[in-house]
Amino acid sequence: MSDLKEVAQLAGVSRATAARAFASPDVVRPATRDQVFAAARQLGFRPNRLGRQLRLQTTNLLGVIVPNLLNPVFAEQFQAMERAARAKGYNLLLATTDYSSERESAVVEELLRQRVDGLVLTVTDAESNRVLESLVSEDTPFVLAYHQPGNPQYSAVSVDNRAGMALATRYLLDCGHRRIGMVAGPALQSDRARLRYAGYCDAMVERGLPSLPVIEMPAHTQADFTVIEAALRGPNAPSALVCSNDLLAISLIAELRRNGWSVPGQLSVIGFDGIALGTQMHPTLCSVVQPIATLASTVIDQLLAQIAGAAPISHCLPCHIRPGESTQPFEETLHDPLQ
């Protein structure tokens, strides 16, 4: 197997210069660096980073914890973070929790044992989370993604979940809808879903209209027609629904159409996340768009700043409505829900 000395000889540079090209490429002239890398490729040489990592007490690894990858919002987030981290010389290790607080604790320990330099977390509830409290006490750098925590010791990047859902509800109200309901996962288990329900209530109260109890689905991202069927019948049935996330909205539209309901003919539906999949379905999904790429790069920047010694800070990014075919003005809605 080739070693660094052979690479240096082939590249026509000193061993020290070859070592710098791998360890600190920014301080080596581009032409020289390219010569060294070309020689390494020709000889099949790969530098052993372990020794350097042990000396510097760093692995250039960042741990990322998300609830799951079934929801495309987390997959899109991870891909954007991976690009941002790679540009800064870092790699990512991914773990999922299935919205389980016990699993959150276990995967954090697993990642810390692998000596990650910092963590990006999307947890079930950031307001009362022992894992986060432990990370603060141990001075472990971390950034929360999508959360809006009240604790100033937590660094976070999010959109304003409450304002975003109020925006979605006003969008429907401005389309003439007055009977609007909200669909969410089990018992508003997610702190993000609770904020979004509060935003829905805010918009309804502003217009002097009653907010309805959440129509609770058995899973965060999967609708069940038998749960919502009763709410769709009778004179006070909603003409529009806001959903706590896009995947739930997409699942709901499929369940409604499968059971003979027209979207948006009889019922307008709006989601929250702005995932790309929503633009590829029929009808296209109207949604509150979170700037996922911007959020991902901001998360990485904040985490690396913390690793370098900066204090925790939080950012709340703007969101907007992406119009889609899943909503229409109330005047165009068929007023013949099943009695």
Q: What is the pLDDT of residues 161-187, one digit of tens each?
A: 999 999 999 999 999 999 999 999 886
Structural domains in the chain, sorted by start: 4-47 (no CATH), 57-159+292-318 (3.40.50.2300), 161-290+322-332 (3.40.50.2300)
- Bridge-partner residues for 180, per DSSP? 240
- pLDDT tens, residue by residue, 280-324: 999 999 999 999 999 999 999 999 999 999 999 999 999 999 999
- Bridge-partner residues for 268, per DSSP? 240
- pLDDT tens, residue by residue, 254-269: 999 999 999 999 999 9
The answer to whether 62 and 116 have CB atoms below 8 angstroms apart is yes
Residue 66 C-beta-side C-alpha neighbours within 13 Å: 20
Statement: residue 148 has pLDDT above 90: no
SS3 271: strand
CB atoms within 10 A of CB 230: 10
Statement: residue 334 has pLDDT above 90: no
Statement: residue 23 has pLDDT above 90: no
Tokens 């509150």 belong to 288
> What's the Cα-to-Cα distance from 232 to each of 248, 267, 329, 335, 339, rounded to whole Å?
17, 9, 18, 12, 9
pTM of the predicted model over 0.95: no
Statement: residue 46 has pLDDT above 80: no
SS3 144: strand
Largest CA distance in the chain: 85
- pLDDT tens, residue by residue, 57-78: 568 899 999 998 888 899 999 9
Give dist(CA 55, CA 96) in Å, integer. Answer: 31
Task: Note the pLDDT of residue 252.
Answer: 97
The answer to whether 132 and 154 have CB atoms below 8 angstroms apart is yes
CB atoms within 10 A of CB 42: 12
